[in-house]
Structure 1
């Protein structure tokens, strides 16, 4: 078992409108934290093989794609493989995403 400290994650990526921290990963799962500014967008896309589960820590997001809905702090959702999905931050947000199997883009 590996323990990853907040100040020393596996990786930090600056994004337009936010930041992504790859917190921890195994061959089967990757855990990612996103801090998003109001208005930040994740364009609609699909993961061919990965299931994504998301927990909203703070803020409100508009889900876009195959499902349209507002989610807020305390809400969670799971996105099956092949489902078109995206988000827009309606206010500053922090979320945790888990992907299984891990997305190669986050484990390279």
Structure 2
């Protein structure tokens, strides 16, 4: 696979199921940054996890309970959050929703 994707049409990116009720697609990336769309069914959970990448997320649709480093807050459409490197974080979809996640650097394991 190439080390970058500069343009992606709405119907061109493939969806990957990551957890029950959760699917993601790579929107675009360079080695320094990646943009990912993640869809959640109501009550689906993005399990608590950590990674060395900095993550910034925008809530494009829905309401989510977001937990970062043991602190939880409910955010809805138009809200955003940022996760510093290596902090434990996760989300629960309180209704059907979508996140737009950005990662720096890119998540190479998402391309495998």
- Fold-level match, TM-score > 0.5? yes
Q: Runs (4+) of structure 1 moved beyond 6 Å?
A: none
CA distance in 2, matches of 1:57, 1:65: 19
1:38-75 deviations in whole A, cap 9, x for unaligned? 0100111111x200000001100001242210010000
CA distance in 2, matches of 1:107, 1:14: 13
Task: State the match for 2:65 in structure 1.
Answer: 62
Task: State the match for 1:14 in structure 2.
Answer: 17
Paired residues of 1:37 and 1:89 also in contact (CA < 8 A):
yes
- Structure 2: where are the runs of 5+ without partners? none
> Over aligned residue pairs, what C-alpha RMSD do you find?
1.4
- Structure 1: where are the runs of 5+ without partners? none
Find the partner of 2:36 among 32, 36, 39: 32
Query: What SS does the aligned partner of 2:15 have?
Result: strand
Task: State the match for 1:82 in structure 2.
Answer: 86
TM-score (norm 2): 0.88
Deviation (angstroms), 1:7: 0.5
Find the partner of 1:102 among 78, 89, 106: 106
Query: What SS does the aligned partner of 1:106 have?
Result: helix
Query: What SS does the aligned partner of 2:109 have?
Result: helix
CA distance in 2, matches of 1:53, 1:7: 24
Find the partner of 1:43 among 47, 50, 56: 47
CA distance in 2, matches of 1:54, 1:5: 21
